[in-house]
Amino acid sequence: MNSSKNLKMFLIRNAVPIVFILVSAAAIPFSQFSADYLIQEMLVRLSRNSFLVLSLLVPIMAGMGLNFGMVLGAMAGQIGLIFVSDWNVVGLHGLVLAAIIATPLAIVFGWICGVVLNKARGREMVTSYILGFFMNGVYQLVVLYGFGAVVPISSPKLLLSRGYGIRNTLNLDTLRRCLDDLVRCEIAGIQIPLATFAVIGVFCLFILWFRRTKLGQDMRATGQDMAVAESAGIPVLHTRVISIVISTVLASYGQIIFLQNVGTLNTYNSHEQAGVFAIASLLVGGASVSRASILNVFVGVILFHLMFVVSPMAGKYLTGDAQIGEFFRVFVSYGIISLALVLHAWRRHADREAARAHFRGQNSDKEAK
Amino acid sequence: MKTRRFLVDLALMAAFVLLGWYCYDRGKAYDFIVQNTAYAAGAEKLSGMEAVQLTVDGGAPKTLYDGDIDQTVAVGSGTHELRIDVLDLDDRPVPGQSRVFRFRLRELGEKMTLNIPFAYKSGADVK
């Protein structure tokens, strides 16, 4: 009886990754992709996206849910890359310089985001989502009208023909794969971006270490119960702001790593999808709004992107139209996100009801006595 | 405690700025012109070379024939190494005729131009 209950709980808790594994397993044979191709694709996408997804763990630890405001960090990373492209700083030095430029910007953006989210306690996710839209407008205003006019940008390769504003697409050829190809490793014809994985590994170690620090413990306490943390002397609001700042800074690095792999910067669009894709990956990996681990990140990135790669081709071979597979992927992927968020809200509601019932039960017992 | 924290913050910021400067200095790519044309400075006169292959800091090689002028890139502000391989009729490097010329970008003048016959004459034989 107990084991069947455990199995049921396991299935409920891991419903999302299980659905993804089943759908992907069914779609792989139809897609007709070779194992080598899929492994290579997964390794590339794992190295490209993991850092961005990992940046979401800190705010979850602090009980702030999924940080849709990570697009602010992505914007900071992109601004760093624009400057580096203008100054013609190439290779790994350019990448590090872009990160250095992005850091203070991301700190400021993260601080603004954290302060706003503190004003909207309990509704952090929707607030950060809308804040992302707002800051997107500011970003577009600055990059489209400020760069070249107020902010000095001299390269004609970057500027629009009117003399100010950054072009829609920037070629990052001088930075392309400079981290991925830093340490070349090839096993059985499959290229492994060792340096990028090393950076991701260091980040994972940082998160493990950070959880054990005073600040990490404060964040966990804040995430579990703000009132209790407050009464224990933890500066709750400050801790929450710090968690968002850390997440935003790491997201800016994540976006730089992402774009060096892609090799092209869509000035006005690249950051928009960063948050949604990262959050979708994390949820697909079995994380929830209040609980996420490093394992969730890697499982999620693999499953989400496996679906990305496989479903258009599976759709093409099954129905003759790749677009149907793509529609299916979009439907399943974002349906899963909605389901995960609804499940979380439902669980929270159920927990609250149970706690209330428990409280009433205790009170009625006291009255009876 | 506050002073210590301030000092730590200041040290971190300084480290960040220094690292940024180092990356800029080492990673900035400079375009400069290489010309395989006649060179004259005072009594010294050198004619253009028939065909040479140029490699800057071990990068992608570039072939220049007599009279050619082209643009190439050097990364970083330090000393750069230009390898000049003399080519035969089949555009293959002639053994024993390669030379390496070391230069700094600021030595190339305002127009950032490097004359290949001069560089070949001033360079050292490849060991």
Cα–Cα distance between B74 and B121 in angstroms, integer? 21
Residue of B nearest to A95 (CA): B23
Torsion over CA: A179, A180, A184, A185 (sign): positive
B23 Cα to chain A: minimum distance (Å): 5
What DSSP state is assigned to residue A238? H
| B16 in Cβ contact with B10 (< 8 Å) | no
> Quick check: helix, strand or coil at residue A348?
helix
Mutate to test the interface with A, among B19, B23, B30, B71 (most CBs of A within 10 A): B23
* CB proximity A101 to B under 8 Å: yes
| A256 in Cβ contact with A99 (< 8 Å) | yes
Question: What is the pLDDT, as a whole number, of residue A313?
Answer: 86
Containing A330, the helix (H) or strand (E) segment is: helix A322-368
Residue of B nearest to A89 (CA): B28
pTM: 0.89
pLDDT in tens, B40-76: 877 788 999 999 999 999 988 999 999 999 999 999 9
| A337 in Cβ contact with A303 (< 8 Å) | no
Residue of B nearest to A96 (CA): B23
A317 Cα to chain B: minimum distance (Å): 43
Set of chain A residues whose Cβ sits within 8 Å of the Cβ of B23: 89, 93-94, 96-97, 100
Inter-chain CB proximity A96 and B19 less than 8 Å: yes
Residues near B73 by beta carbon (within 8 Å), at least 6 away in sequence? B29, B30, B31, B32, B56, B59
Structure tokens at A45: 């996408």
Cα–Cα distance between A28 and A330 in angstroms, integer? 17
Set of chain A residues whose Cβ sits within 8 Å of the Cβ of B28: 87-90
> Quick check: helix, strand or coil at residue B65?
strand
**Interface size, chain A vs chain B, as Cβ–Cβ contacts under 8 Å:** 39
Which segments of chain B have a pLDDT < 70? none
| A88 in Cβ contact with A314 (< 8 Å) | no
Cβ-nearest to A93 among B16, B27, B30: B27
Inter-chain CB proximity B27 and A103 less than 8 Å: no
Mean pLDDT of chain B, nearest integer: 92
Cβ-nearest to A88 among B19, B26, B28: B28
Cα–Cα distance between A247 and B10 in angstroms, integer? 22
Question: What is the pLDDT, as a whole number, of residue A314?
Answer: 85
Query: What count of other Cβ atoms lies within 10 Å of the Cβ of residue A298?
Result: 18
Question: What is the pLDDT, as a whole number, of residue A184?
Answer: 86
Inter-chain CB proximity A89 and B24 less than 8 Å: yes
* CB proximity A113 to B under 8 Å: no
Cα–Cα distance between B87 and A135 in angstroms, integer? 58
Degrees to nearest 5, angle at CA A64 with A60 and A65: 60
- Classify burial at B73, counting beta carbons within 10 Å of its beta carbon; exposed 0-12, middle 13-18, buried 19 or more: middle
Number of helices (H) and strands (E) in chain B: give both, helices first. 2, 10
A159 Cα to chain B: minimum distance (Å): 19
Report residue A287: phi and psi, to 5°. -80, 165
Cβ-nearest to B29 among A96, A100, A174: A174
Q: What is each CA distance from A106 to A127, A163, A237, A249, B32, in whole angstroms?
A: 18, 27, 19, 5, 36
Set of chain A residues whose Cβ sits within 8 Å of the Cβ of B26: 93
Concatenated DSSP letters of B40-52:
EETTEEEPPPSEE
**Residues 30..89 of A with a Cβ closer than 8 Å to B: which?**
87-89
Set of chain B residues whose Cβ sits within 8 Å of the Cβ of A249: none
| pLDDT tens series, chain A, 369 aa | 577 878 877 877 788 888 889 988 998 999 899 999 999 999 999 999 999 999 999 999 999 989 988 999 999 999 999 999 999 999 999 999 999 999 999 999 999 999 999 999 888 889 999 999 999 999 999 999 999 999 999 999 999 999 999 999 999 999 999 999 999 899 988 999 999 999 999 999 999 999 999 999 999 999 998 999 999 999 999 999 999 999 999 999 999 999 999 999 999 999 988 888 899 899 889 888 888 999 999 999 999 999 888 888 888 888 888 788 778 777 776 776 787 778 777 777 777 787 888 887 766 666 666
Inter-chain CB proximity A94 and B20 less than 8 Å: no
